[in-house]
Each structure stands twice: as C-alpha cells, then as structure tokens.
Structure 1
C-alpha cells in the first residue's frame, strides 16, 4: 500500500510537469498566432478608411476570415478546459478553480500578443515614417499643421471630404512598410501552426491520460486485506503486476500505456463504451447530437440572460479596434502610433487577465463585473469629452490603458461564466464564441454608419442592460446549484 502511494505520487508529479509543459507550448502557439493577427488587424480601420473602410473589399474579406476562423476560439476555450481538468485530476483544488485559472493564463497570453504584435507594428511603421519624414521635429502630434483636429474623437463621423483632406494621418507614408509587416506576420503564423501541430495532444490523448490517472488513484487507495477488495480491483491489481514493476524504473510506470492497456483499463473502471461507436457513428449523427446539445444550451434561461453582456464584450472590442485606433490615435497622432497605443492596451489587458484568473474567485464574480462596469463607464464618458490638446499623447495612452484594464476583467470573467453556468462545456464555448463574433460584426458594421458619439451611447446601453441581466442570471445559477446540492444531500440521507 505504501509503495502504491509512492508510485502514485511520483507518477502524478511527472504527469503534472508534462501537462504544464504542454500547456506552455499551447500558450506559445497562441501568442505567436495572435501577435501576427493583431499586428495587421488593428490597422484596418485606419489604412482602409477611404470610401467607408473600403467597404466593397473589406466586407467579403471579413466574411471569409470569419468563416475560416470560426472553429478557432471554441477550440481554444475547449483546450483551456481540457488542460484545467487534467491538472484538477492531479491537484487538490476543485475543477472550477483550475478552469478560471487556466482561462486567466490563456487570456494573459492572448493580451500579451497585443503587446508584442503592436510593438512590432509600431517599430516598422514608425521607422519607415521617420525615414520618409526626417524633417518633422514634432513627434507628439503627427503632422500638426496639416490636420483638422475638430473631427477627431467623438466628433469623428468619417466624412469623406474631411478624411481625404487628412489622409496622410491615416495611411502609412511608405507602402513597403506594410509589405514588411505582412511578411513577418506570415512567418509568425507559420511558426505557431508548427508548434501546435507537432507539440500538442489531441482530445483522445486527454481522455487516455484521465483514465490512467484514475487507475493510479484506485491503486493508491486499494486496501491491504485482499478479502475486502472488490473483484474488479483485484483484477486491476493483477493487470498492474503484469504491466509494471512498482520498484522499477518510475519513468516506465508513468508512460502512457505502462499502467494498463486502454481496453483493459476502461473495462476495469466501468467506463467501457461500445467499441464501434466512434467508427460507426455517422457524420450526420454527430452533427445532430451537437446541434441538439447546442440548442439545449442556448434555450437555458441563464444563457439567454448572458447574451447582452457577451454581445457587449464583442462591441467593446470592435470599438477599441476601430474607433479608438482611427478617431483618437490616427486622427491626432498618425497611423504609426496605433501599434504602441494597442501595445499599452494589450499590456494592461494581460495583467488584469492574469490577476482575474489568479484572484477573481476570491473577490467574487459580481464584484469583478461591477468594478469593470464603473471603469468602463468612466472610459466612455472621457471619450465623449476628450479633445486634442497639449497632453494629447499622454491622454491617449491613458485611454488605451484603461480600456485594456476593463477588458481584462470582462473578457476573462464572461468566458468563465459561460463555462461555469453550462453542463456542456463544448456548447458553452461555441455559444460564447458566436456571441463575441456577432458583437464584433455589429460593432464594425455600425462603425461606418454612426458617428463615434452614437457608438458610445449604443455600447453604454448594452453594458448597463447586460450587467443587470447578468446579476439575475447569477442569482438563478446560485439557486439552481443550491437546489441540486440539497437534493443530493437528501438522496444520501
């Protein structure tokens, strides 16, 4: 029995180390991929400002990108959950604690990519801009003598005549800088693809590891007196003796197939499924089952009440990517400053994502939401009254920092809330992703239709209504959990 406990402890320690190393490679791939993406994406509302964001070219390109990218974020959210469950099997804390922690680490990497990708954009565009405009001595307000600042900020309505008169502030002086930036972004994308393709496990690997860990735990807790052992446990012990020598090399014990063959293990644990289920189930059946799970999830009232706040999260991101970068940064400072402003946004977002993932549960979900709500309302009020002045550079940096501050809370907590409220984590991830994308789409579409001030009022409406409904949803969820707990307790009694 003592040897079994030592065996389990060593195996668990080795498995935890391997899982965390795999998670680190996963985050590196996410970081590289998103660094390339944001470096290009955040410039779009500025460099394509002519003719209403080059509507007839960007619209089909945006649709194509959305279709190709649609599986990405549900998959990433699911990977966070799989890693969290794997560590929860090896750790002492509850699964929910690890899910919020790993989601926090993911969003930290996600926002850290904003820092790196946008610094990359800034260095390239600013460097080329200085080589073309070495005679400009005022670097804090771009080409100050040539810009009409009255149309910046909340007064921005993308008037074609005014835009054409100030076009130099929205587009890079040297097009070669864009080609260099795109080439580097493609190299980062390729590297990220190779990291994820060759260094990450698939879902079946996670299932096999979970079964293996369960086997170790059963072996550890097996009684010494064989007369009290369950017949299945005895069978498992015999299989273990055939497979491993506990006093032997621990690395062999901890290999994927060392503890027990997959078929014997699943039978031993009572988890055997129909052997041909995965091969005989048709694609149509899988699609129907997935659709049924998703419909069941979206029909739940707790999810329905989360729709406005999740849409707002997408709207707010679109506001930062389009309105803040165009109407506040490019209009007053020049497009070359977009990168450094978004890097500041990403830095504060990453720090807050990490803090929410680590300490969010201690403060409480609603308290975190309320804090972010106050910050966000202050951001929008400042945006309404902001004007170009002697401290424009500092004020814009502060504005991006505070929007990143609030988004680091919102994005992490909203994602975790969807996962926490749902029984089916896959459906929850998919539904969350769809709502974020819809919010992004609504934000980018209205960007070409409404003035910035109108966009601010729309966002504030979604934010306040979404928060109220979120509180109601949280109350329903807590009552439901309490009811289920009470029912379980009655059954046990």
Structure 2
C-alpha cells in the first residue's frame, strides 16, 4: 500500500516537472522573440530618424494592431490554433526586422503594419498557452487551477520584462562595441567639449536641418554595426521559431486534460465547422462592443490610453531626444534596459503594496512620480557634468509604468469579474490607441508640448478614475440612489 502511494506521488511529481519544463521552454521562446523585436522597435526613433520613417513604421504597427486585434485575431486563433498564431506572429516580427536592412518608407511602413498583425495575435495566443499549461499542471498539483493560472500568467509577464532587459543589453553591447572599434579603441564615454545640447531634450522638435547636421548622434558608428545588430536579432527570432515548431505542440494536442470520447468528437466537429467559428467570433465582437460602451469602462478609458502614451513616450521621445541626442545612440539599449528592470521590480512591489494599502494610495504615489519625472524633463538644463540625469529619467519612467500598468489592468479584473477577459481586451485596445497617438504626433510636436499634454492627460485620467470609484461606491451603499448598477456591471449596461 505504501509502495503504491509512493509511486503515485512520484508519478505526480514527474508530471509536474514535465509540464513545468515545457512551459519554461515556451517562455524561453517568448523571451527570444520579444528580446529581438522590442529592442529593434526601441531604436526606431533614432536609427531611422530621417523623415520620421522609424516612428511612422511604429504608427503603422500599433494602428494595425488596434484594428486587427478587435476584428481578426479571434478568427485566426479559432481557425488555425494558438501555435500557428504564435509562429505566424514571429514570422511577421522577422519581416519587420529584415525591413530595417533597407529602411525606406515604402519598405519599413508596410513591414510595420505586418508586425502590427503579429503584435495583435501574439499576446492572446501566448495567454492561451500559459493558461493551458497552468490547468494541466493543476491536475497534478495541490492547489486550485485558478491559483496556477495566476502564477503562470505572472511568470509570462515577468519573462516579457526580462526579455526587454536582455534584448536591450545585447543591442547596447553590439552598438557600444562597434563605436569603440570605429574610434580605434579610444575612450568613448566622455562627452566632446563642443557638444551642443540646445536642441535636445524638451527642445527637441525634430527639425530636419538640425537632424541632418547631427545625424551621427542618432545613427550607429557604421553600417556593419547596425547590420550586425539586426542580424543577431533576426537570428534570435529564427531560434524561437525553431523551438516552437519542433518542441512545442499545440494546446489541442499537448498535455491536454482527458475528456470523454463524446466530448472530444463534439469539439472536433465544432472546430471543423466554419459556421460555429463565425458565431463564436460574432459573439466575442458583440461582448467587446458592449464592454466598450459600459459607463465604468468609459471612465477608465483615459487611464488605459495614458498608459500607452507613457510607454511610447519612453520608446520614442526619451530614447531619441534624451538618450541618443545627449549621450549617443549606443546608450539607448542600456537606458531601455534600465527602464525595463525598474519597471519589472516596481510591478512586483505594486502588486504587493496594492493588496495591503489598496489602489487609491498608489495612484497618488504614481501621479507624484510621473509629474516629477516630467518636470525634470522640462526644466533640466543638460551639461557635460550632469548627463547622468538621462538615466534618472528612464528610472522614473520605469517606476511610473510599473505603478500604472498593474493598477489599470487590476481595475478591469476587479470591477468586471464576469467579463474580465473581454475587459482586458478592451483595456489593451485603449492602451494600443495611446501608443498610436504618441507615435503619430512624434514628428509633429516638440517634446516640450508633448510633456505638457501628458501632464494634463494623467491628471484628467486620475479625476475620471475617482469619479468611477465614487459612482460605484454610491450605487452599492445607497440603494435608493439614482445611480444604477449599470455604472459597474457590464451585463446591465445595455
């Protein structure tokens, strides 16, 4: 009897290890993919600054992602499965990286739109994989499946943050090494005495004449260095594709929870039926638009849009106007790695503090940090002696995003418990809209103007958040109030 019990326990442990190993391999493939794609995207506003081609390609990416994610992603995932969706997205990312070898507008902008399709498809498919592995692990675990789903999703998001650190450190190493070789091994860390900062930072307006005169600040030391960077990033995505194609079976076949033969037959019949697939997609679209017009969702929309504005502010404005213009394009990767590291740590701390002190106190703290960073970016007068402030700005942006992102996503999970999947899709839609707006005005406004707009927008978002809190609390506490439950519950919003 004891031997039988011991064998059963050993079998459970082996199953858990096998599932965990495959999940870690899945996460490693994701790390390679995003380390490559994100690090190239962060460089766009610098390496392709002329005529704003780099930023224009990112506009195409996120505008396409917003539309494609709402209307096409559910169809693709339903029709072809999550594995095909992920590999397809990786190929789209690879096309975008390859387009940077010939960064003309007629090449890079369409490639950006293709990358947007991948961006819209990759995340939902990855979440499906992560939840699948979590539920399979729960079969042999000791806790409820919901616990493991949260844990596995947390690991997935953590791996995404780590991928940004890894990718940006690799680009920093290649670009900085190329600069050192180009200068004959001399010390390149010191800023030249004649360096002019008057058109950098808040004064950056992307004037074509000034950009042309100082193009060496934004472009790598040589084409060889740039092509080496792009080649390494492309190789990483190829390695990730190889991992998924060879070692990661689709969720329909890998470690699937056993079902009855009748249920399996029914599911296969449904998956082969285009009519049923279309009905599912139409139902998802209907729920999505019901969520969009929900009163509470509308009140949260400014916050989600601002979150996108903040992230793209880092990847387009801070990287170009502060990092490239002041300390050189070879430092962009290091600055972005600092941002991602601080962001990841702050996300973790925010989650812990939110459970202890609630969301409202952290929102006030985030507002103070955010506005403080903007004021420094506005008022700071750069000199050769205080260029360390550039890194401080990335740290502050990382702290701000590390507060806003988990809090805004938590709002949607907490207040739309019966519709949280659709609520998160809508949150992501508004987030992408914010990123698209930031990239769209990147070449039209001076950095100073953008900062003023973002200060006003974050304050506006906080006010709307507290209005939403007041409405929901009033509808719960005062049963005689004219404020109805439709302010809080998506099911009654129509």
TM-score (norm 2): 0.75
What is residue 133 of structure 1 aligned with on the other side?
183
Q: 1:460 aligns with which of 439, 455, 472?
A: 455
Instruction: Give yes or no for the alignment of 1:313 onto 2:295.
Output: no
Output one character per residue of 1:368-391: Cα deviation in whole Å (capped at 9) or x when no partner.
333322211211111111221244
Which residue number corresponds to residue 213 of structure 2?
165
Instruction: Give the match for residue 441 of structure 1.
Output: 436
Name the structure 1 match of 2:235.
187
- Return 149-158 or 360-369, whichever deviates more: 360-369
Task: State the superposition RMSD in angstroms.
Answer: 3.5
**Residues 310 and 432, structure 1, Cα contact 8 Å, conserved in 2:** yes
Q: TM-score, normalised by structure 1?
A: 0.75
Residue in 2 aligned with 1:411?
405
Q: In terms of mean alpha carbon deviation, does 8-17 or 404-413 score higher?
A: 8-17
Aligned partners of 2:354, 2:19: CA distance in 1, in Å? 23
Q: Unmatched 5+ residue regions in structure 2?
A: 57-104, 480-484, 486-494
Looking at CA atoms only, which structure, 1 or 2, has the larger radius of gyration?
1
Deviates more, 1:80-89 or 1:320-329: 80-89
Runs (5+) with no aligned partner, structure 1: 213-260, 485-493
481 and 298 in structure 1: CA distance in 2 versus 1, 3 angstrom threshold: farther
Cα deviation for residue 74 of structure 1 reads 2.7
Query: Paired residue for 1:297, among 291, 295, 315?
Result: 291
1:446-488 per-residue CA deviation (whole Å, 9 max, x = no partner) reads 111111011112222222222333344456667889999xxxx
Which of 375, 396, 402 aligns to 2:396? It is 402
- Between 458-467 and 327-336, the greater mean CA deviation after superposition: 458-467
- 1:261-276 map, 5 Å: 262-263=260-261, 276=269
Which residue is equivalent to 2:52?
52
- Bigger relative contact order (CA 8 A; separation at least 6): 1
SS in 2 for 1:71: helix
For residues 241 and 474 of structure 2, the distance between their equivalents in structure 1, rounded to whole angstroms, comes to 44
- Deviation of the 1:139 alpha carbon: 1.5
Contact 1:74 1:429 in 2 (8 A): no
- SS of the residue aligned with 1:302? helix
Task: Confirm or deny that 1:75 pairs with 2:125.
Answer: yes
Please name the residue that 2:202 is paired with: 154
Deviation per CA, 1:254-279, whole angstroms, max 9, x where unpaired? Answer: xxxxxxx6337x69xxxx96874343
Mapping of residues 318-467 of structure 1, within 5 Å = 318-357=312-351, 360-420=354-414, 421-467=416-462
Shift of the 276–80 alpha-carbon distance from structure 1 to 2, 3 Å rule, reads closer
Q: Aligned to 1:412, what secondary structure does the other structure show?
A: helix
Determine if contact 1:104/1:355 at 8 Å carries over to the other structure. no
What secondary structure, in the 3-state scheme, does the structure 2 residue paired with 1:387 have? coil
Give the equivalent residue in structure 1 for 2:39: 39
Which residue of structure 1 lines up, in the alignment, with residue 61 of structure 2? none
Distance of 1:198 and 1:360 partners within structure 2 = 41
1:279 paired to 2:272: yes
Per mean C-alpha deviation after superposition, the further-off stretch among 175-184 and 57-66 is 57-66
* Alpha-carbon distance in structure 2 between the residues aligned to 1:370 and 1:199: 46
1:169 Cα deviation from its structure 2 partner: 0.7
Asked if the contact 1:148–1:166 (Cα under 8 Å) also holds between the matched residues in 2, the reply is: no
